Amino acid sequence: MFRRHPQHLLSGIIFAATAAIISLSHAALAADEFPSKPIKIIVTAAPGGTTDIATRQLGVVLAKELGQSVIVENKAGGAGIIGLQALLAAPADGYTMAMGNIGTNAINYSLYKTLPYKVEDMEPITIVLANPNVLVVNPDFPAKTVAELIALAKANPGKYSFASSGRGQSIHMSGELLRVEAGIDIFHVPYKGAGPALADLLAGQVNMMVDNLPSSMQYIKTGKLRALALTSKTRVPELPDVPTMIQSGFPGFEVTAWFGLFVPAGTPKPVIDKLYMAVKKSLETPEMKQRWKDLGGWAVGDTPANTKLFLASEKKKWEQVAAQAKIEKE
């Protein structure tokens, strides 16, 4: 039997160690140089919704922080699944991120028998933005309060519709909560994002929507939509006359929508850390704080580790909500 000479073994060990050191050095160098080219952020929804608004506003400030262009690309459809598939098809090098949200990265796991992604397929950078949802109706809709809306719906079962930005988004689940909590028969009309849903709501093609506040705020302030209630614990300063769902007689009705950045699993930790620090600094700028305050939202910016814990708790919460609403998995 052939036996390798001890000197050969030693040479092999030295060679392997040297190769490992060189590999680590290259990885460290790549992290030091990152980013050396433009970064792309995939938006998992159509233009006009809060996912899109948050991404484009952040992208402007983040580009200055990173010293590179930030390209925003919308990949709408499939409850955000199409956008996350595009993210996972990209190299795990930090140059492609996706702006996911409460739907794509928490609720979807409760609504689909099979998803083309798992929690472990992505690494979070941070939650960027959080905000309440708001129950809005077309101004021609007769109801001016939640109580009036419920009375109308109970008198006309199956007549009224609620729009959403897609199955599984917080907008959809908030509508389902309204249906269950109020005991009313209203039907769901899903769209490929809040933008198209709002367009039909404004045109009177659908009756109501429990939208993310930032995407509806401009229409509420201009009178193009009527706000009946917010899903936050307390009223927001920007809409002092709009009550909460809790104040409207539903003590358990509280929903906070959120939007966060993700990269494919396997992205080097130094790259994730650089992206996190750049995003955090961007969120702390007076410009970003004011923009999102005006829209009724607030910046988050917690660490990737804490964000993982938060995502796990949100996944569990919405599993319970889906079961309560008796929503069958597709």
- Predicted pLDDT at 293: 87
Q: Answer yes or no: is pLDDT of 243 > 60.
A: yes
Whether residue 17 lies inside any domain: the answer is no
Residue 99 lies in a domain: yes
Q: What is the domain-level CATH number for residue 112?
A: 3.40.190.150
Average of per-residue pLDDT across 296-324: 92
Are 100 and 139 found together in one domain? no
Angle between helices 269-283 and 304-324 (to 10 degrees): 80
Q: For 146-191, how does the pLDDT look when each residue is reduced to its tens digit (9 = 90+)?
A: 999 999 999 999 999 999 988 888 899 999 999 999 999 999 999 9
CA dist., res. 47 & res. 74, Å (int): 7
Q: Is the domain of 126 the same as that of 140? A: no
Nearest-CA neighbor of 87 among 50, 55, 135, 53?
55
pLDDT tens-digit map of 111-150: 998 999 999 999 999 999 999 999 999 999 999 999 999 9
Q: Strand, helix or coil at 166?
A: coil
Domain annotation covers residue 9: no
Share of the chain above pLDDT 90, in %: 74
What residue numbers bound the domain in which 207 lies?
Answer: 132-230
Average pLDDT, the chain: 90
pLDDT of residue 184: 96
Higher pLDDT, 186 or 17: 186
Instruction: Report whether pLDDT(11) > 70.
Output: no
A 10 A CB-CB count for 39 gives 20
Q: What is the CA 117 to chain-centroid distance, rounded?
A: 16
Please write the tens of the pLDDT for every residue from 91-106: 999 999 999 999 999 9
**Domain end marker among 213, 230, 247:** 230
Burial environment of residue 238 by CB neighbours within 10 A (0 to 12, 13 to 18, 19 or more)? middle
Distances (CA, A) of 63 to 68, 210, 315, 324: 5, 32, 31, 43
Alpha helices, DSSP H, located in the chain: 6-33, 50-66, 81-88, 108-111, 146-155, 170-182, 194-202, 213-221, 269-283, 286-294, 304-324
Query: For residue 237, is it within any domain?
Result: no
pLDDT, mean of residues 48-64: 93
- Quick one: average pLDDT of 57-75? 96
3-state secondary structure at position 7: helix
**Residue 195 lies inside a defined structural domain of this protein:** yes
- For residue 20, give every residue at least 6 positions away whose Cβ sits within 8 Å of its Cβ, in sequence order, or none: none
- pTM summary value: 0.82
47 has a pLDDT exceeding 80: yes
DSSP 8-class letter at 229: E
Same domain flag for 301 and 225? no
Contact 53, 110 (CB under 8 A): no
Number of domains forming the structure of the chain:
2
Predicted confidence (pLDDT) at residue 1 exceeds the cutoff of 80: no
Task: Please give the DSSP secondary-structure letter assigned to residue 113.
Answer: S
What is the residue whose two structure tokens read 């009313």? Answer: 184
Q: Show Cβ contacts of residue 168 under 8 Å, excluding neighbours closer than 6 positions.
A: 79, 80, 103, 104, 107, 108, 110, 111, 112
CATH number at residue 173: 3.40.190.10
CA angle at residue 274 from 69 to 74, to 5 degrees?
45
3-state DSSP percent of the chain in helix, strand and coil, to 5: 45, 20, 35
Evaluate whether residue 239 is within a structural domain: no
Residue 176 lies in a domain: yes
Question: Is the per-residue pLDDT at 247 higher than 80?
Answer: yes
Same domain, 190 and 271: no
Distances (CA, A) of 103 to 57, 106, 149, 291: 20, 6, 26, 23
| Angular region, 193: left φ>0, alpha ψ -120 to 50, beta rest | left
Tens of pLDDT along 267-288? Answer: 999 999 999 999 999 999 999 9
Contact 76, 44 (CB under 8 A): yes
3 pLDDT exceeds 80?
Answer: no
In the chain, the percentage of residues whose pLDDT exceeds 70 is 90
